[in-house]
Structure 1
Amino acid sequence: MDTDATGHRDPDRLMRRAGVSGNPDRDQHFLVDDRVLDRIPGYLPDSADRSHLLEIGGGTGALTDRLLAVAERVTVVERDAGLAAFLREEFSADVEDGRLSVVEGDALAVDLPDFSACVSNLPYGISSEVTFRLLPTERPLVLTFQLEFAERMAAEAGTSEYGRLSVGAQHYADVEVVERVPKEAFDPAPAVESAVVRTTPRAPDYAVDDEAFFLDFVKALFTQRRKTVRNAIRNTTHISGVADGSAVVERAPEELLAKRPGDLRPGEFAELTALAADHR
């Protein structure tokens, strides 16, 4: 096993041993910058339980190697059969010791273990779907995304980046962009910059009885983000599932109706959702 000065496996040598190169057509961009890889596990909150870390998209194992250094157990989900086999061979001692499990399959379809936290360089094509599968588990997450996606996740109300992704993510957790990652940190380099995001789970300071309806209502209003909330509610009943948008408007506070969707905080969306729920 080849390791660098810190005792970790070298990402370029891992790629050579695996006999692979990244394939953009398959959403494969391997993170190969040692310094970034070394920092990523440290972005977990200090209070995070590191007993069982989940990694989505293990690739050739450069991040897996770093996670094994800080966790009691690691489970990797890898959809590529060849890479899954390579991980089992490369980390055979950890597999035999029960410290590493490799699950071959699609992260959107396989049964996920009862993990304590997730640290992953996500395939960008499934970023949103995977993130919203992970967020409801109420576990800390450290995930690498395209920079634009990361900034939208963490955006505050009233900014141009703020949207339904922001509201949805911040409904479940505090969201922080903790590091920007240049294109050159990947092989092959993607077309855009990336960023590492940390989400720390916490209960919202508002009540939502039906999360699916809440998220659908938020999605509907953001299709009319340049309209006032009053008009957005009336114009999107076919998306939100609200039977009578005017009835919701009649009950809603004027200070919310006069705003645009991009100016509503998550708690204000929840307030409107509670009114809309009576008119589904």
Structure 2
Amino acid sequence: MSRDPDALIERAGLTGDPAADQHFLIDDRVLDRLPSHLPTDADTSHVVEIGAGTGGLTDRLLTVADHVTAIERDPRLVEFLREEFANAIATDQLTVREGDVLEMTFPESATASVSNLPYSASSEILFQLLVESVPLVVMVQREFADRLVADHDTGDYGRLSVTAGHYADSEIVEPVPRQAFSPQPAVQSAIVRLTPRTPEYSVPDDAFFLQFVTAVFTQRRKTLRNAIRNTTHISSIQDATAVLEAVDEDLLGRRPAKLSPELFAELSSVAYDTGDPQRATNE
């Protein structure tokens, strides 16, 4: 029988701290469904959970995974998790790691990740997870979820949409109300499933592609011409004029949100080939 999330909070003797981005998921039904949102063919031999809190989700993951690595940065919660789940740790079903996931090396043997992410660091954590190419199920702020899954030429489309789409197919699988948490956050939430895939386009360098996308979206209301020219300090383009001369004039008049990921790939390839005189000369 699954552990009651309210009882876990009571045994931990702690209440969530909104200032520290702590909102414990207490809805049993949502907790029970979270692991089931993984793709049906997902390998669950080693599932990583980020932000384990008092262990409500950890408990459910232990029923579907051969091994769970639970990462938690609050030392008080780490101590509680190690006491509450002592049997699972003793039988090598669970590893509890203390610290900030952004400062850790992701477990090499991990095959999937299911997490209620801290909302203030959702984008940074997600970008780190996406490069691991494992199925992900994440609880995030609803507004963030909408941007994550947005198609191009929509109001929510941006850097997050292109970056996520570069690594995975993403879909909102369940909206989650504020009442599912304690304490209640100020925003609605959603569960998103991200399934790794290879993009239908190619780029010369992943890091440059993502840097280029990040750069132009900092000026999403500008034309692409001005966005490229004004953000060389972010994109690391050495010769913006050479890039602009190599791109179709009609394309330069568009705004970033009007460009599909495929067009971003083409543009980044042009920028990569022409934007660095030394690289262009070597090639």
Mean Cα displacement is larger for which, 110-119 or 12-21?
110-119
User: Distance between the aligned counterparts of 1:234 and 1:17, measured in 2?
Assistant: 57
Tell me if structure 2 keeps the 8 A contact 1:31–1:185. Answer: yes
The code of the aligned residue for 1:56 comes to: I
User: Distance between the aligned counterparts of 2:136 and 2:251, measured in 1?
Assistant: 32
The answer to whether structure 1 residue 230 and structure 2 residue 225 are counterparts is yes
The answer to whether structure 1 residue 275 and structure 2 residue 267 are counterparts is no
Partner of 1:180: 175
Q: How does 1:156-175 map to 2 (within 5 A)?
A: 156-175=151-170
User: Distance between the aligned counterparts of 1:207 and 1:195, measured in 2?
Assistant: 31
Q: Give the TM-score normalised by structure 1.
A: 0.95
Q: How does 1:135-146 map to 2 (within 5 A)?
A: 135-146=130-141
User: Distance between the aligned counterparts of 1:227 and 1:256, measured in 2?
Assistant: 13
Partner of 2:25: 31
Choose from 46, 49, 59 the match for 2:43. Answer: 49
The answer to whether structure 1 residue 201 and structure 2 residue 180 are counterparts is no
The answer to whether structure 1 residue 247 and structure 2 residue 242 are counterparts is yes
Partner of 1:4: none
Shift of 1:89: 1.1
Tell me if structure 2 keeps the 8 A contact 1:140–1:200. Answer: yes
Choose from 15, 18, 24 the match for 2:12. Answer: 18
Consecutive unaligned residues in structure 2, runs of 5 or more = 277-283
User: Deviations 1:131-163 (Å, cap 9, x if unpaired)?
Assistant: 111100000000011111111111110011111
User: Deviations 1:191-223 (Å, cap 9, x if unpaired)?
Assistant: 101111110000111112222211111111112
Shift of 1:255: 4.6
Runs of 4+ in 1 over 4 A off after TM superposition: none
User: Distance between the aligned counterparts of 2:99 and 2:227, measured in 1?
Assistant: 40
Mean Cα displacement is larger for which, 105-114 or 151-160?
105-114
Mean Cα displacement is larger for which, 84-93 or 225-234?
225-234
Partner of 2:280: none
Tell me if structure 2 keeps the 8 A contact 1:256–1:268. Answer: no
User: Distance between the aligned counterparts of 1:88 and 1:210, measured in 2?
Assistant: 42
Q: Give the TM-score normalised by structure 2.
A: 0.94
Tell me the matched-pair count.
274
The answer to whether structure 1 residue 132 and structure 2 residue 124 are counterparts is no
Q: Identity rate of aligned residues, in percent?
A: 58
Consecutive unaligned residues in structure 1, runs of 5 or more = 1-6
The code of the aligned residue for 1:100 comes to: L
Tell me if structure 1 keeps the 8 A contact 2:204–2:272. Answer: no
Tell me if structure 2 keeps the 8 A contact 1:174–1:200. Answer: yes
Partner of 1:3: none
1:25 aligned counterpart, secondary structure: helix
